[in-house]
């Protein structure tokens, strides 16, 4: 059949109202999460999500409207429920090269509901219940037909009195999260969105995963009804008006997964559900993919890469600290003051450090003229540029300024990843979308910005006062769904000062997960640290075998433990304006093993440290004092018997 986009409108609407009959129910393996498919009347359907813990059942999301508006056929009336497939178990173990956990498990229960309309056109709804949440997606069977999707009607009903942490959407995803108790504000909201039920028995985080070439990215809006957070396509003005707002899909087709991570706060933070439901790796040989830590000159000197001597100083910093990488940011093509790009690369390589390099994504979708601009824009451009980079020994590219999540931009992201892999070049994105599970599919995608990070100390005085609370919110929101290039751990000041303590800043090296971790301070900021803190930053990993939330509350404080091999690392920060004593419980440690604890916490004021060395085991507890806006970091190493 010839592919075409017809003028006839296909509308698949599953609406919500009074419940007459329950049709389908699926329960998670641990029996805590229950998803139910209900029928209001003939042809009208919706989902309900419940959570059961300790014998108590909580109605987490009372209704999720479902629906798609497409071309070719009418699904708006008389939608006939054909059957529900047999419930089946999803069992898949996989390994991540980087992230919060090495060994992951895609383990849940799935059921498929089959529907057809009066014209016998079919649509399926795939529903999964996991121990840590829910995922569902739409499916059109058939082949060799193209539909234009004009709207998706999926909408999550969130009653007032549900606490929520939401970020107003902007295409670069660099806003601040606001805490609200109701839906009074009606806005465009960014992913991920965090909620807590009124009785606090269950937390849930709404996101999407496995967005691919056959769709666009989306956001949430609650304009029509403040309690309904509807999935919404990008705005026309995104990407300076380039690209189509409405995606075109080719049958057979599955939508991105609509994901609800749920459970305790620890379940949220530790979840890998976004990666679990995403496509497996397409990279067979991954030996060339090497996560690591990089020095970065832009935060302390916005024109640092234009200066050969500055570039050399940051290469020296990486070599001195044992970090694998240094990043050449914008203006590398205009480098002067003693050398050019080739000179800088020779020097960097002589130190045993590997260079990374920045590019403007180019094209009419970005208003930024910073060069080099168009070298990533087309397949031909990329193949030529990647071949040059390979010869120069450059191992990774940072590509900036996408500013859109339309289908054409999703394709552009994936084009870059696929072409870079041909030359064994790692990639990370800035001015971009937040993670959608691509780090599983494309493990050479090391990190994303999509966050208001330390760079904002250059942009305005705002982060000076908001950073403590913001930093204590990100582990429960943005960093849950994937790597986050916040560019942390600064002790000196950029254009605008920070008021977080040195202990707080040191802890970010553990709390903020990124497979390419850019340490943003100037060299003297690290050279002048006391030995314990400097040694910690020389050895702290940035990929993890396991992650555990020990304690915390969004915006107030976070205490997290991460494992690498036999060692554990702890980061704790406070986002509040008063001192706090944190009780550390080490019950997560292996039994019958003693560990050497090196604790680096706040000193007598916010620019000093207190260092303690203790022996602990899994029965130990200690108290740690945090200054206002303070923090601490720790390393636990098993002692030989």
Q: Residue 114 burial (CB < 10 Å; 0-12/13-18/19+)?
A: middle
**Beta-carbon contacts of residue 388 (< 8 Å; ≥ 6 apart):** none
- Count CA within 13 A, CB hemisphere, residue 92: 17
* Cα–Cα nearest to 265, from 476, 82, 454: 476
On average, the pLDDT of the chain sits at: 94
- Give the pLDDT mean for 213-232: 96
* Minimum mean pLDDT range among 119-128, 294-303, 468-477, 560-569: 119-128
- Give the pLDDT mean for 266-292: 98
Backbone angles phi, psi at 70, to 5 degrees: -130, -165
- Give the pLDDT mean for 19-42: 82
SS3 485: coil
The single residue listed with the structure tokens 């009903």 is 157
Token duo for residue 49:
């999500």
- Most distant CA pair in the chain: distance in Å? 77
pLDDT the model gives residue 6 = 40
> Angle, nearest 10°, between helix axes 407-422 and 379-392?
40
* Minimum mean pLDDT range among 33-42, 455-464, 606-615: 33-42
User: Does the pLDDT value for residue 344 go beyond 50?
Assistant: yes
% of the chain with per-residue pLDDT over 70: 95
pLDDT band at 116 (very low <50, low <70, confident <90, very high): confident
* Cα–Cα nearest to 19, from 51, 59, 55, 70: 59
User: Does the pLDDT value for residue 523 go beyond 90?
Assistant: yes
* Cα–Cα nearest to 5, from 53, 101, 71: 71
How many Å apart are CA 68 and CA 117, to the nearest integer? 14
% of the chain with per-residue pLDDT over 90: 88
User: Does the pLDDT value for residue 17 go beyond 80?
Assistant: no
Give all domains of the chain, ordered by start, each with its CATH number: 9-276 (2.70.98.10), 279-450 (3.20.20.70), 474-641 (3.20.20.70)
How many Å apart are CA 632 and CA 559, to the nearest integer? 9
* Cα–Cα nearest to 513, from 485, 538, 540, 533: 485
pLDDT the model gives residue 20 = 41
* Cα–Cα nearest to 543, from 358, 290, 200: 290
pLDDT the model gives residue 74 = 59
pLDDT digits (tens, 9 = 90+) for 404-418: 999 999 999 999 999
CB 516 within 8 A of CB 292: yes
Left (φ > 0), alpha (ψ -120 to 50) or beta: where does 476 sit?
A: alpha
Extended strands (E) in 329-458:
354-360, 396-400, 426-429, 445-448
pLDDT the model gives residue 617 = 97
How many Å apart are CA 307 and CA 331, to the nearest integer? 9
- Give the pLDDT mean for 608-623: 98
């Amino acid at each position: 059949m010839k592919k075409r986009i017809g003028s006839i409108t296909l509308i698949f609407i599953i609406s919500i109202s009074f419940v007459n009959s329950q049709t389908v129910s699926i329960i998670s393996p641990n029996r805590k999460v229950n998803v139910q498919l209900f029928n209001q009347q003939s042809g009208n359907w919706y989902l309900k999500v419940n959570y059961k813990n300790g014998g108590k059942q909580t109605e987490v999301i009372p209704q999720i409207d479902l629906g798609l508006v497409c071309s070719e056929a009418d699904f708006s009336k008389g939608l006939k429920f054909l059957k529900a497939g047999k419930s089946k178990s999803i069992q898949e173990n996989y390994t991540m090269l980087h992230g919060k956990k090495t060994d992951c498990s895609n383990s849940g229960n799935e059921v498929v509901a089959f529907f057809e309309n009066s014209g016998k056109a079919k649509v399926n709804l795939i529903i999964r219940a996991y121990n840590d949440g829910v995922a569902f997606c739409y499916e059109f069977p058939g082949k060799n037909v193209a539909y234009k999707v004009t709207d998706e009607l999926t909408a999550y009903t969130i009653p007032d009195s549900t606490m929520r942490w939401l970020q107003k959407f902007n295409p670069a995803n660099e806003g601040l999260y606001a805490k609200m108790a109701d839906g009074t504000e009606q806005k465009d909201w960014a992913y991920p969105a965090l909620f807590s039920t009124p009785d606090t028995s269950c937390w849930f985080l709404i996101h999407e995963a496995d967005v691919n070439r056959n769709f666009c990215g989306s956001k949430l809006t609650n304009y029509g009804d403040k309690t309904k957070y509807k999935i919404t396509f990008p705005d026309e003005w995104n990407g300076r008006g380039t690209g189509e707002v409405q995606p075109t899909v080719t049958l057979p087709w599955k939508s991105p997964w609509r994901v609800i991570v749920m459970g305790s706060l620890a379940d949220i933070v530790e979840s890998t559900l976004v990666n679990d439901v995403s496509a497996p790796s397409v990279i067979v040989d991954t030996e060339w993919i090497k996560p690591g830590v990089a020095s970065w000159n832009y935060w302390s000197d916005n024109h640092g890469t234009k200066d050969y001597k500055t570039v050399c100083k940051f290469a020296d910093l990486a070599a001195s600290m044992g970090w694998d990488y240094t990043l050449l940011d914008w203006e590398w093509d205009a480098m002067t003051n003693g050398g050019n790009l080739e000179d800088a690369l020779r020097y960097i390589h002589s130190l045993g450090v590997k260079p990374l390099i920045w590019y403007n994504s180019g094209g009419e979708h970005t208003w930024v003229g910073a060069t080099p601009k168009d070298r990533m824009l087309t397949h031909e451009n990329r193949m030529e540029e990647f071949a040059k980079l390979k010869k120069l020994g450059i191992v990774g590219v940072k590509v900036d300024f996408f500013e859109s999540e339309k289908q054409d931009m999703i394709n552009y992201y994936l084009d870059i990843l696929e072409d870079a892999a041909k030359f064994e070049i790692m990639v990370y994105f800035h001015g971009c979308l937040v993670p959608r599970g691509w780090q599983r599919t494309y493990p050479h995608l090391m990190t994303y910005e999509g966050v208001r990070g330390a760079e904002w100390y250059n942009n305005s005085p705002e982060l000076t006062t908001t950073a403590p609370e913001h930093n204590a919110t990100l582990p429960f929101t943005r960093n849950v769904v994937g790597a986050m290039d916040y560019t942390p751990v600064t002790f000196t000041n950029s254009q605008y000062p920070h008021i977080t303590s040195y202990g707080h800043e040191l802890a970010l090296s553990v709390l903020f997960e990124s497979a390419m971790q850019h340490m943003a301070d100037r060299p003297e900021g690290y050279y002048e640290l006391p030995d314990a803190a400097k040694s910690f930053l020389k050895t702290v990993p940035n990929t993890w075998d396991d992650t555990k939330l020990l304690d915390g509350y969004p915006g107030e404080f976070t205490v997290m433990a991460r494992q690498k091999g036999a060692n554990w690392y702890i980061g704790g920060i406070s986002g509040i304006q008063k001192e706090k004593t944190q009780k550390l419980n080490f019950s997560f440690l292996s039994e019958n093993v003693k560990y050497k604890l090196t604790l680096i916490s706040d000193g007598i004021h916010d620019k000093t440290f207190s260092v303690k060395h203790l022996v602990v085991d899994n029965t130990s507890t200690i108290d740690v004092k945090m200054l206002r806006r303070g923090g601490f970091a720790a390393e636990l190493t098993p002692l030989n018997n």
